[in-house]
Amino acid sequence: MKIKFLLTAILCSVVGFAQSVSLNDYKAVIIPLKYDFMKTDNQYRLATLSKQNLNKAGFEAFYTNEQLPEGYTDRCQVLYIDVVKDNAFLVTKLFVQFKDCYGQVVYTSEVGRSKEKEYELAYKESLENAFKSVYALHYKYSGNTVVVSRTNTQAQVPTKVTAETLAAAAPVAATQVVAVAPSPDLKDPNLLYAQPTESGYQLIDKTPKVVMKLLKTSQPNVFMAIKDNVQGSLILKNDGQWYFESYQNDKLVSEKITVKF
53, part of any domain:
yes
Whether residues 199 and 105 share a domain: the answer is no
What is the rounded end-to-end Cα distance, in angstroms, of the chain? 38
- Backbone φ and ψ for 246, nearest 5 degrees, come out as -150, 165
Whether residues 23 and 88 share a domain: the answer is yes
Q: Are strands 192-196 and 112-114 parallel, antiparallel or unpaired?
A: unpaired
| Whole-angstrom distance, CA of residue 174 vs CA of residue 177 | 9
Whether residues 219 and 127 share a domain: the answer is no
Q: pLDDT 10s digit of each residue in the chain, 261 long? A: 444 444 444 444 434 434 433 799 898 999 999 999 999 999 999 999 999 999 999 999 999 888 888 888 788 889 999 999 988 788 999 999 999 887 888 899 999 999 999 999 999 999 999 999 999 999 999 887 766 555 433 333 343 333 333 334 333 333 444 555 567 777 778 889 888 887 888 998 887 788 999 988 888 889 999 998 888 899 998 888 899 999 888 888 999 999 988
Domain range holding 100?
2-135
Q: Are strands 92-99 and 192-196 parallel, antiparallel or unpaired?
A: unpaired
31, part of any domain:
yes
Whether residues 217 and 111 share a domain: the answer is no
| Whole-angstrom distance, CA of residue 241 vs CA of residue 204 | 18
Which class for 173: exposed (0-12), middle (13-18), buried (19 or more C-beta within 10 A)? exposed
Whether residues 8 and 123 share a domain: the answer is yes
Maximum Cα–Cα distance across the chain:
65
Cα-Cα-Cα-Cα torsion 11, 12, 15, 18, nearest 10 degrees, comes to -110
Specify the 3-state DSSP secondary structure of 9: helix
141, part of any domain:
no
142, part of any domain:
no
Q: How many domains does the chain divide into? A: 2
